[in-house]
A and B are shown apart, each in its own frame.
Chain A
Amino acid sequence: MRHIVSLLMENEAGALSRVAGLFSARAYNIESLTVAPTEDETLSRMTIVTSGSDEVIEQIIKQLNKLIDVVKVLDLSDGRHIERELMLVKVKATGIFREEMKRMSDIFRGRIIDVADGSYTIELTGSGSKLDAFLEAIDKTAILETVRTGASGIGRGDRILKV
């Protein structure tokens, strides 16, 4: 089953490689991983999307907790949460595509953030499936380049991951 795990870790050199190394060394799945410092610059917040049986997920959480640099771990999928992913898509914007891409971007509540003679760059935020849906909806031949951040997640309401 797919799980989205959030963690806070000391913002130290090599911290990311400890997490990445753990997943590869123990053959855990890793669908995406995002990381950036928090408002407290000594801490980094990481979101990992993984999958596995309940036993494997339990081990992943325990193994993450065991890393010395990891301060807190939360399996967001255990409760109500929100997840978002950012995608930038560069699409052809010539001929019929110029109008079509603008319209599709609007429908998906995207924003065109760069306009060139032959292309648009569209910024899109949402769940992974919404981003997938956008790519499905537009003409494949129009896609020049895509870049996705992987999911970031946060608990709803009082579910707070903080030191």
Chain B
Amino acid sequence: MQLTGAEIVIRCLQEENVKFLFGYPGGAVLNIYDEIFKQDKFKHVLVRHEQAAVHAADAYARATGEVGVALVTSGPGATNAVTGIATAYMDSIPMVVLSGQVPTPAIGMDAFQEVDMVGITRPCVKHNFLVRNIDELASTIKKAFYIAASGRPGPVVVDIPKDVTAHVGEFVYPESVQMRSYNPVLKGHSGQIKKALKLLLEAKRPMIYAGGGVVLGDAAEPLTKLVRQLGFPITNTLMGLGGYPATDKQFVGMLGMHGTLEANMAMQECDVLLAVGARFDDRVIGNPAHFFQNPRTIIHIDVDPSSISKRVKVDVPIVGDVKSVLADMLQLLDETEKPHNAEPLKAWWQKIEDWRGKNCLKYATSSDIIKPQYVIEKLWEATKGDAFVTSDVGQHQMWAAQYYKFDKPRRWLNSGGLGTMGVGLPYAMGAQFAFPDAQVACITGEGSIQMNIQELSTCKQFHLPIKVILLNNRYLGMVRQWQEFFYENRYSESYVDALPDFVKLAESYGHVGMRIEKPGDVESALKEAFGPSNKERFVFMDFITDQKENVFPMVPNGKGLSEIILAEDL
């Protein structure tokens, strides 16, 4: 079938069952937009800034597990997309970003709105392509989707020159992809799995540490089964929250820089550590040298071999898809006679209960001033712990992670790796498009929300009933916290002066605006916002919170996990 390049792009997206395309038009992609106009198989979501298009596509992928898709024009459209692409890359999100490019003969001529997109994005994509010829357009898009979703997922950019979208070529969509250079290992090595299970069953102080790979690999179910059968403590990373039910008693909370005392101490003092789809990053294990002061045997399951023994030397590496490896491990566990290590395990749990007894997430309540932690606790109650929660980056993000107890995977959407302020609102959009009837809450700060505030307009256009939970402390809170702790209270540029009236701002877009200034009003306001009267409405809740509240516990940068500071220590 002879089609134009633009028609081929549309057909490819339809073949991939794309339901939403997040984008922004411009010169280089006008042929593609003309074809979008003529079709109704997928919905195009017009954002107000390309960065938001990519974030929304990213969130759609995080919430559904499908590949998110964004479309931007060349030049500034492409460069605006870069932060979104890098964000998705750091968190291994499957995404395809189509970018327009100047016509092939104009490439390298410093043409209007020309930028070397393949060059600019090379360090922050799983792979990228420049389509030089219409004959390779369909096969390239097919490859892009395959690469994005397989192995360790990640964003793939397909840069398409405008003349390629106008040329006519034969359209055949390949049924499958074969690449001699790319064959991710999915099945774990059975000998290694056996060895790992033996170590786990003989452990006296076992610990399980699960990351974003469990969520992305849809492995929450086998993980939960395994953890329950073993009876071991488990912690989740920021990216792994929801991978194991947070309300379960075996869950010891998030670990890392703002993790719980029990999670961090158990990591430090365990004798056998099973890491699943996690990568021992600097915010998680702190100083690696300090981590190694305690000897322990480490088992690491990950689909990406380069994540294994990168920051921390691993004893039993298992390369493979976490879901498949955990299933194999469960089957082996069924067939294995369990040794009687009940006594040491009981003693280990006792130790953990002692740490847990410190109640490290306790905070000073107040009847005059709204404590941000309190808002999150009440949000959890108001949404019955079942909302899709997005956050931006900073203190509010940590409070959300600590106090909203995620029982299901894919409910917690945040930028863990890159730490991108401004993702919260577009993430909420992506999640709401994916699940139009679900409750979607965006927990944010007055700094972050202003980084993509223009999307209030997109939310208006598409009638998205998102609830924004703004924890407004009139500071770039996390910056202020570090300045308080490590820069002798010199609050350099961390005060956000000249804030808009967020209530009026929301109202000007036709949304519902609420300002909540008293702790006594928090619960009722949340009930109202999430109640039936606002079911169809976008509600912007401006909570005026304690300006000087800090996030605890805290493992200072470069310190070890057991050098954790609790609120009561200060």
Residue from B130, B180, B305 within 8 A of A65 (CB atoms): B305
B147 on the interface (CB 8 Å rule)? Answer: yes
**Residue in chain A with minimal CB distance to B126:** A68
**Is A10 within 8 A of B123, CB to CB?**
no
Which residues of chain B are near A63, meaning CB under 8 Å? 306
A148 on the interface (CB 8 Å rule)? Answer: no
**Is B304 within 8 A of A66, CB to CB?**
yes
**Is A21 within 8 A of B127, CB to CB?**
no
Shortest CB-to-CB span from B428 to chain A, Å, is: 32
**Is B118 within 8 A of A14, CB to CB?**
yes
Give the interface segment out of A54-62, A103-111, A132-140: A54-62
Instruction: Given A21-B123, A55-B313, A65-B305, answer yes or no on A13-B130 (Cβ-Cβ < 8 Å).
Output: yes
Interface residues of A in 1-22 (CB under 8 A from B): 9-10, 13-14, 17-18, 21
Shortest CB-to-CB span from A101 to chain B, Å, is: 43
A116 on the interface (CB 8 Å rule)? Answer: no
Residue from A9, A25, A70 within 8 A of B123 (CB atoms): A25
**Is A66 within 8 A of B123, CB to CB?**
no
Q: How far is the CA of A104 from the CA of B3 in the complex (A)?
A: 67
Residue from B118, B180, B309 within 8 A of A55 (CB atoms): B309
**Is A21 within 8 A of B122, CB to CB?**
yes
Residue from A13, A21, A25, A59 within 8 A of B306 (CB atoms): A59
Interface residues of B in 130-182 (CB under 8 A from A): 130, 132, 147, 179-182
Which residues of chain A are near B182, meaning CB under 8 Å? 68
Q: How far is the CA of A159 from the CA of B85 in the complex (A)?
A: 40
B357 on the interface (CB 8 Å rule)? Answer: no
A-facing mask of B17-59, CB < 8 A → 1, else 0?
A: 0000000000000000000000000000000000000000000
Q: How far is the CA of A42 from the CA of B139 in the complex (A)?
A: 17
Interface residues of A in 45-90 (CB under 8 A from B): 55, 58-59, 62-63, 65-66, 68-71
**Residue in chain A with minimal CB distance to B143:** A68
Q: Work out how many contacts link A and B, with CB atoms closer than 8 A.
A: 40
Residue from A17, A55, A65 within 8 A of B122 (CB atoms): A17
Q: How far is the CA of A63 from the CA of B310 in the complex (A)?
A: 10
Shortest CB-to-CB span from A7 to chain B, Å, is: 10
**Residue in chain A with minimal CB distance to B128:** A14
B119 on the interface (CB 8 Å rule)? Answer: yes
Shortest CB-to-CB span from B1 to chain A, Å, is: 27
A163 on the interface (CB 8 Å rule)? Answer: yes
**Is B306 within 8 A of A9, CB to CB?**
no
**Is A62 within 8 A of B147, CB to CB?**
no
Which residues of chain A are near B123, meaning CB under 8 Å? 21, 25
B-facing mask of A121-148, CB < 8 A → 1, else 0?
A: 0000000000000000000000000000
Q: How far is the CA of A62 from the CA of B118 in the complex (A)?
A: 23
Residue from B122, B147, B181, B305 within 8 A of A70 (CB atoms): B181
Q: How far is the CA of A13 from the CA of B313 in the complex (A)?
A: 36
Which residues of chain A are near B304, meaning CB under 8 Å? 66
Interface residues of B in 391-431 (CB under 8 A from A): none
Which residues of chain B are near A18, meaning CB under 8 Å? 122
Which residues of chain A are near B147, meaning CB under 8 Å? 68
Instruction: Given A14-B118, A18-B122, A21-B122, answer yes or no on A163-B180 (Cβ-Cβ < 8 Å).
Output: yes
Q: How far is the CA of A17 from the CA of B118 in the complex (A)?
A: 11
**Residue in chain B with minimal CB distance to A14:** B118
Which residues of chain B are near A66, meaning CB under 8 Å? 304-306
Which residues of chain B are near A13, meaning CB under 8 Å? 130, 132
**Is A62 within 8 A of B305, CB to CB?**
yes
Q: How far is the CA of A132 from the CA of B381 in the complex (A)?
A: 73
Shortest CB-to-CB span from A4 to chain B, Å, is: 21
Q: How far is the CA of A58 from the CA of B4 in the complex (A)?
A: 46
Shortest CB-to-CB span from A25 to chain B, Å, is: 5
**Residue in chain A with minimal CB distance to B123:** A25
Which residues of chain B are near A21, meaning CB under 8 Å? 122-123
Which residues of chain A are near B310, meaning CB under 8 Å? 59
Residue from A14, A17, A25, A71 within 8 A of B180 (CB atoms): A71
Q: How far is the CA of A9 from the CA of B309 in the complex (A)?
A: 25
Shortest CB-to-CB span from B445 to chain A, Å, is: 31
Interface residues of B in 107-137 (CB under 8 A from A): 118-119, 122-123, 126-127, 130, 132
Q: How far is the CA of A71 from the CA of B313 in the complex (A)?
A: 26
**Residue in chain B with minimal CB distance to A71:** B181
Interface residues of B in 295-312 (CB under 8 A from A): 304-306, 309-310
Shortest CB-to-CB span from A16 to chain B, Å, is: 12
Which residues of chain A are near B130, meaning CB under 8 Å? 13-14
Q: How far is the CA of A163 from the CA of B183 in the complex (A)?
A: 14
**Is B181 within 8 A of A10, CB to CB?**
yes
Which residues of chain A are near B179, meaning CB under 8 Å? 68
* New A-B pairs, 9, CB < 8 Å, besides A9-B181, A14-B122, A68-B179: A13-B130, A14-B118, A17-B119, A18-B122, A55-B309, A62-B306, A63-B306, A65-B306, A69-B127
Listed A/B pairs (21) with beta-carbon separation below 8 Å: A13-B130, A13-B132, A14-B118, A14-B122, A14-B130, A17-B119, A17-B122, A21-B123, A25-B123, A55-B309, A55-B313, A59-B306, A59-B309, A62-B306, A65-B305, A65-B306, A68-B126, A68-B147, A68-B182, A70-B181, A163-B180
